[in-house]
Amino acid sequence: MIEIGSLSDIPRQGARIVKTAQGDIAVFRTLDDSVFAIEDRCPHKGGPLSQGIVHGHGVACPLHNWVIDLTSGEALAPDHGCVKRFAVELRGDRVWLALPAARQAA
Amino acid sequence: MNAIPAQHPRLVVIGNGMAGMRTVEEILARAPGKFQITVFGAEPHPNYNRIMLSPVLAGEKTFDDIVINSREWYAENGIELIAGEKVVSVDREARLVMGEFGTTRPYDRLLIATGSDPFIIPVPGHKLPGVITFRDMADVDAMLAACERGGSAVVIGGGLLGLEAANGLSINGMRTTVLHLMPTLMERQLDTVAGGMLKADLEARGLTVLCGADTAEILGTERVTGIRLKDGKEIPADLVVMAVGIRPNAALGREIGLECKRGIIVDDTMRTSDPFIFSVGECVEHRGVCYGLVAPLWDMARVAADHLSSVADSLYIPAVSGTRLKVTGIEMFSAGDFIGGDEAEVVEFRDPSRGLYRRLVLREEKVAGVVLYGEAEDAGWYFSLLKNAEALGPLRHTAIFGQSVAMAAAGGPAKDPKAALAALPDTAEICGCNGVCKGKILSTIAEKGLTTLDDVRAHTKASASCGSCTPQVEGLIALALGDGYQAAAEKPMCKCTGLGHDVVRKEIIAQSLKTMPGVMKRLGWKTADGCHHCRPALNYYLLCAWPGEYEDDAQSRFVNERNHANIQKDGTYSVVPRMWGGVTNAAELRAIADVVDKYDIPTVKVTGGQRIDLLGVKREQLPEVWAELNAAGMVSGHAYAKGLRTVKTCVGSEWCRFGTQDSTGMGIQLERMTWGSWHPHKVKLAVSGCPRNCAEATIKDFGVIAVDSGWELHIAGNGGIHLRGTDFLCKVTTEAEVLEYCGAFLQLYREEARYLDRTAPWVERVGLDYVKQRIVEDAEGRRALHERFLYAQKFMQIDPWAQRAPGAAAAQPFTSLQPAE
């Protein structure tokens, strides 16, 4: 895992992105200060999920309002689809992310 | 009017209120045409729903909304209505009724339904002008008139009626104090815990509540100026409302010699001591009891109708009834013996941070009483448990958690409210006000082929009174009709709340709610932080209601408004700099060209609103692109905003040989005044210099067309999916007037349209006449609207691009997180 910043770098009910060779990863912070990381691409038309409205443990895609469950990566009914999730955790107020490359190496 | 032959027996009804007219309706349902019916009413109105006066006072309904039977209904049913004439005597020998203006009518059967009078405490000063009661439409009018003048109001009485009056006065801007003699509010309906929660909720809405307050004297010489309590405390008041209770209006019965005690004595068939005279409603006394709630009236009406039309031999048996407070945002319900005592078990559930409280009183494993506070969705279910009086069995340990949990635990259908509704027995009461059960509603829908809520209301009366059971009735219609049913009433904003946009907006103002968590908590949001439907709407409503106080919440903005640019299908953005009135110059164009080159922007396009659109800018480039455009003097064009977009103009009298006025200059002035304003949806303006209308002003939200003698103002046009030409608002002569009318119109739209309504559907909903009345006829109101617009603009006309300059904190969201190493 790799340190990507502090919790306060991410707006509550919002997200920041981490650029990787495999594409952008969106790191979310919800109202209850939980953090989640998923690929920044909606399974529908590739919309940047990091720019959606975050509510509960979900995010509404900014392009067509698909709602993605951040805990499972699945789209909520009636839509079907799934985004890749990445392990992310808080150590104190620091946010640690398992980058795809780092994970392969491990 | 249908002619009814004279040989029909004559029924005269004294009292055009709810009990009397309900009896007439029941008779018409049983034996149409049996009687020749005359109705005397002391009030000059058709029959209206008295228990809905509180929502009228609170501004949530109009008088027309609460009329039960219109004058046409009387005519269609061959009923003679004599409204505005009080009956002064009855000759029982000759069977003749006499009105105060000399109207006489003979009868074969007489029905007395004179209702009740408000109780006036005979303290000194109780006759002063400015001391009123809360009983009829005239009282509501008097209260609304007092609210126009403003000041302070004191309501004596912290029961159902008093609190609804106080809430209405407070919503209408009065500083309102409630005086209650007893230690807790609504002690006849609520236990002390719920009473305390109610007091706290009302105080949070800005009401002052004094319990244990005994009124000694009403102060004033010409008219009321205040009130003095027995402990010496004085409270200033411009209006005093007495709502301490009612007593049966048995005066007429007493005068004509019917047996009376507190009320007119009736037997189990609703007959008085004269076998030709029946009586129903709050004026009667049945087995020593007088009634003040609505549900018993319906039972009385049924029994009286059975006997008057001789179709059945029913008897009136008093039933337990439930109570709700009609204060929007405060959910409560109580029924039965909710205090408990000997042999009774009490089960309580409290969740103070969510403001929830429930109390069940059980006797021998049966529900004997219930109090719900904070959430009353399950009122119908608890009430049916109470009325059925069956041992709870497996529900005993879970009933306190509500219907869905209890039914799931008992192995029944769970959470889904539709399933819960389907699981209710046919005898379950849905509409407490009108005593209508589930089976009756479903069978009427099937028999009559009903498809709308209004149909069901008309045929069954369910949800036709206080309306709190509307969701259940709509649920039943949906159950009966399947997915084909679309609810007609204003729909809830989203799944997070049962409240519609208009109600939420009203409550934001009424309760001075200034934060989004505050709105969600106070109005009982079902989710912790809303959703992508309600949050942008609430953010707008709060921004509009509290300019300069509410801080815009970026996380509740749609992507374009949060990023101040328009997202495109590939996740890049478009950037549109503002060009005032569509006018630009060489320096601006050069700067734009340089930006396009420097950032390799793939597409440059001229928009329909006379602006230049730079398409395909990457998100992380936005702050830099903006900074370069800022440096050349350009600001955000807000092409992404649910707000003022563009003012389109033609060249007007400065260049055009047909131009009559300086339309370009006018457009620039309008854009300088309106830029940066947020609205329920996008707003587009245009100014044309002559009626040839080259700026296409007649498909804009606010269009101006210059003529020789001034400016024509047009509103509510739309060039989008639904092409709609504008409506002509009025003509004005000066540029200053154009600015004032425009600002006032936009402010009215900002304050009253629902989020995501364009001006066109909004004007169609409220009507052009309404807008004309507010903007054209009411000059003072127009100026006030314009001033509120300008005031709000003080906080809005800050360039969002400049705030997000590279390196500024507000530009941080446009950068990506940098992993350590």
Assign residue B651 the CATH number of its domain: 3.30.413.10
Confidence (pLDDT) at B298: 86
Q: Residue B266 pairs with which residues in a beta bridge?
A: B286
d(CA B12, CA B109): 7
Closest by Cβ to A31, choosing from B528, B567, B619: B528
Contact B529 A55 (CB under 8 A): yes
Cβ contact B391:B365 at 8 Å: yes
CB-CB neighbours of B554 under 10 Å: 15
Do residues B538 and B580 share a domain?
no
pLDDT at B641 exceeding the cut of 60: yes
pLDDT at B407 exceeding the cut of 80: no
Q: Where do the DSSP E strands lie in B339-442?
A: 345-351, 356-363, 366-373, 429-431, 436-437
d(CA B46, CA B68): 8
pLDDT at B676 exceeding the cut of 60: yes
pLDDT at B321 exceeding the cut of 80: no
The pLDDT confidence band at residue A87, using thresholds 50, 70 and 90, is very high
pLDDT digits (tens, 9 = 90+) for B792-818: 999 999 999 999 999 888 898 999 998
Contact A4 B819 (CB under 8 A): yes
Nearest CA in chain B to A55: B531
When pLDDT is averaged across residues B659-678 and rounded to a whole number, the result is: 96
Do residues B570 and B541 share a domain?
no
d(CA A85, CA A62): 19
Contact B820 A4 (CB under 8 A): yes
d(CA B786, CA B181): 46
Confidence (pLDDT) at B821: 66
Q: Decide which of B534, B557, B580 is a domain's last residue.
A: B557
pLDDT-wise least confident of B133-137, B409-413, B662-666: B409-413
pLDDT at B1 exceeding the cut of 70: no
The domain that holds B586 is classified in CATH as 3.90.480.10
Q: How far B528 CA lies from chain A's nearest CA (Å)?
A: 7
pLDDT at B543 exceeding the cut of 90: yes
pLDDT-wise least confident of A90-104, B551-565, B626-640: A90-104
Which amino acid belongs to residue B227?
I
Identify the domain containing residue B726 by its residue range: 644-796
Nearest CA in chain B to A47: B571
Average pLDDT along chain B: 90
When pLDDT is averaged across residues A36-48 and rounded to a whole number, the result is: 94
| Cβ contacts of B478 within 8 Å, gap of 6 or more | B418, B485
Q: Residue B40 pairs with which residues in a beta bridge?
A: B14, B82
d(CA B392, CA B369): 13
Q: Which residue has the higher pLDDT, B215 or B416?
A: B215
The percent of residues in chain A predicted with pLDDT above 90, rounded, is 77
- Residue A67: phi, psi to the nearest 5? -105, 125
Whether B810 contacts chain A with CB within 8 A: no
When pLDDT is averaged across residues B405-425 and rounded to a whole number, the result is: 70
Confidence (pLDDT) at B262: 93
Whether B820 contacts chain A with CB within 8 A: yes
pLDDT digits (tens, 9 = 90+) for B117-154: 998 889 999 999 999 999 899 999 999 999 988 899 99
Mutation target to probe the B interface, by most B beta carbons within 10 A, among A16, A44, A51, A68 is A51
Closest by Cβ to A18, choosing from B531, B567, B819: B819
pLDDT digits (tens, 9 = 90+) for B171-212: 888 999 999 999 999 888 888 888 998 999 899 888 999 999
In a domain, B463, yes or no: no
In a domain, B318, yes or no: no
Q: Which two tokens stand for residue B195?
A: 């009473």
Number of inter-chain CB pairs under 8 A, A vs B: 83
When pLDDT is averaged across residues B477-481 and rounded to a whole number, the result is: 84
d(CA B789, CA B782): 11
Contact B529 A13 (CB under 8 A): yes
Q: How far A61 CA lies from chain B's nearest CA (Å)?
A: 9
When pLDDT is averaged across residues A21-26 and rounded to a whole number, the result is: 91
Do residues B147 and B171 share a domain?
yes
Q: Which two tokens stand for residue B478?
A: 């949906």
The pLDDT confidence band at residue A103, using thresholds 50, 70 and 90, is very low
Q: Residue A96 pairs with which residues in a beta bridge?
A: A3, A89
Do residues B654 and B744 share a domain?
yes
Contact B558 A62 (CB under 8 A): yes
> Which residues on chain B are in Cβ contact (under 8 Å) with A67?
532
Do residues B191 and B263 share a domain?
no
Confidence (pLDDT) at B484: 60
The pLDDT confidence band at residue B417, using thresholds 50, 70 and 90, is low
Q: Decide which of B540, B557, B574 is a domain's last residue.
A: B557
Closest to B706 in 3D by CA, of B694, B716, B719: B694
Which parts of B69-136 fold into alpha helices (H)? 71-76
Task: Report helix, strand or coil for B247.
Answer: strand
The domain that holds B275 is classified in CATH as 3.50.50.60
Do residues B74 and B106 share a domain?
yes
Average pLDDT along chain A: 90
Closest by Cβ to B817, choosing from A9, A32, A63: A9
d(CA B235, CA B218): 10
Which amino acid belongs to residue B193?
V
Strand B710-715, strand B702-707: pairing:
antiparallel
Cβ contact B677:B642 at 8 Å: no
pLDDT-wise least confident of A57-66, B452-461, B491-500, B794-803: B452-461
The pLDDT confidence band at residue B339, using thresholds 50, 70 and 90, is confident
> Which residues on chain A are in Cβ contact (under 8 Å) with B540?
none
The pLDDT confidence band at residue B61, using thresholds 50, 70 and 90, is confident
The pLDDT confidence band at residue A99, using thresholds 50, 70 and 90, is confident
Nearest CA in chain A to B814: A16
d(CA B318, CA B310): 21
pLDDT at A102 exceeding the cut of 60: no
- Residue B682: phi, psi to the nearest 5? -65, 150
pLDDT digits (tens, 9 = 90+) for B304-317: 999 999 888 889 98
Mutation target to probe the A interface, by most A beta carbons within 10 A, among B494, B521, B553, B559 is B559
Contact B813 A47 (CB under 8 A): no
In a domain, B162, yes or no: yes
Number of H helices, E strands in chain B: 27, 38
CB-CB neighbours of A81 under 10 Å: 13
Do residues B748 and B649 share a domain?
yes
The pLDDT confidence band at residue A106, using thresholds 50, 70 and 90, is very low
In a domain, B330, yes or no: no
> Which residues on chain A are in Cβ contact (under 8 Å) with B554?
11, 14
Integer Rg of chain B from CA: 32
pLDDT-wise least confident of B397-401, B450-454, B589-593, B713-717: B450-454
Domain tally for chain A? 1
The pLDDT confidence band at residue A105, using thresholds 50, 70 and 90, is very low
Do residues B650 and B769 share a domain?
yes
C-alpha pair distances (Å), B35 with each of B4, B27, B272: 9, 9, 20
Sign of torsion, CA B552 B554 B555 B561? positive
Confidence (pLDDT) at B295: 81
Task: Report helix, strand or coil for B711.
Answer: strand
The DSSP symbol for B437 reads E
Confidence (pLDDT) at B340: 77
The domain that holds A86 is classified in CATH as 2.102.10.10
Task: Report helix, strand or coil for B316.
Answer: coil
- B805 alpha carbon, distance to own chain's centre: 44
d(CA B187, CA B603): 71
Q: Which two tokens stand for residue B471?
A: 């969701």
Q: Which two tokens stand for residue B83?
A: 């409204």
Q: What is the dihedral of CA B686, B687, B691, B696, to 10 degrees?
A: -20
Q: Decide which of B512, B540, B557 is a domain's last residue.
A: B557
Closest to B615 in 3D by CA, of B606, B603, B607, B624: B603
| Cβ contacts of B483 within 8 Å, gap of 6 or more | none
Residue whose structure tokens are 């009612």: B246
Whether B555 contacts chain A with CB within 8 A: yes
Cis amide leading into A78 (omega within 30):
yes
C-alpha pair distances (Å), B404 with each of B38, B233, B417, B419, B438: 49, 49, 8, 9, 18
Domain tally for chain B? 5
Contact A54 B567 (CB under 8 A): no
The DSSP symbol for B143 reads H
Do residues B15 and B164 share a domain?
no
Closest to A1 in 3D by CA, of A35, A32, A51: A35
Q: Which of residues 517-536 of B touch A (CB under 8 A)?
A: 527-532, 535-536
Do residues B702 and B784 share a domain?
yes
Q: How far B354 CA lies from chain A's nearest CA (Å)?
A: 17
Closest by Cβ to A27, choosing from B535, B563, B817: B817
When pLDDT is averaged across residues B749-776 and rounded to a whole number, the result is: 94
Contact B571 A46 (CB under 8 A): yes
Do residues B785 and B664 share a domain?
yes
pLDDT at B326 exceeding the cut of 60: yes
Q: How far B571 CA lies from chain A's nearest CA (Å)?
A: 6
Whether B556 contacts chain A with CB within 8 A: yes
HSE (side-chain half, CA atoms, 13 Å) at A69: 11
Q: Residue B219 pairs with which residues in a beta bridge?
A: B226
pLDDT-wise least confident of A79-88, B130-139, B264-273, B453-462: B453-462
Mutation target to probe the A interface, by most A beta carbons within 10 A, among B555, B557, B814 is B555
Q: How far A80 CA lies from chain B's nearest CA (Å)?
A: 19
HSE (side-chain half, CA atoms, 13 Å) at B654: 9
pLDDT digits (tens, 9 = 90+) for B484-517: 665 555 678 888 888 889 889 988 998 889 999 9
Contact B531 A99 (CB under 8 A): no
CB-CB neighbours of B305 under 10 Å: 26
Do residues B626 and B653 share a domain?
no
Residue whose structure tokens are 């048996």: B317
Q: Which residue has the higher pLDDT, B424 or B637?
A: B637
Q: Where do the DSSP E strands lie in B337-457?
A: 345-351, 356-363, 366-373, 429-431, 436-437
Identify the domain containing residue A6 by its residue range: 2-105
- Mark out chain A residues that contact chain B at CB-CB < 8 A: 2-5, 9-14, 16-19, 24, 27, 31-32, 45-48, 51-56, 60, 62-63, 65, 67, 97, 99
pLDDT at B424 exceeding the cut of 90: no
pLDDT at B416 exceeding the cut of 90: no
> Which residues on chain A are in Cβ contact (under 8 Å) with B562?
51
d(CA B195, CA B152): 24
Residue whose structure tokens are 């300008």: B790
d(CA A64, CA A52): 10
Q: What is the ipTM of this complex?
A: 0.90
d(CA B793, CA B548): 9
In a domain, B429, yes or no: no
CB-CB neighbours of B667 under 10 Å: 29
Contact A31 B535 (CB under 8 A): no
pLDDT at A104 exceeding the cut of 50: no
Q: Which two tokens stand for residue B634?
A: 């350009």
- A40 alpha carbon, distance to own chain's centre: 7
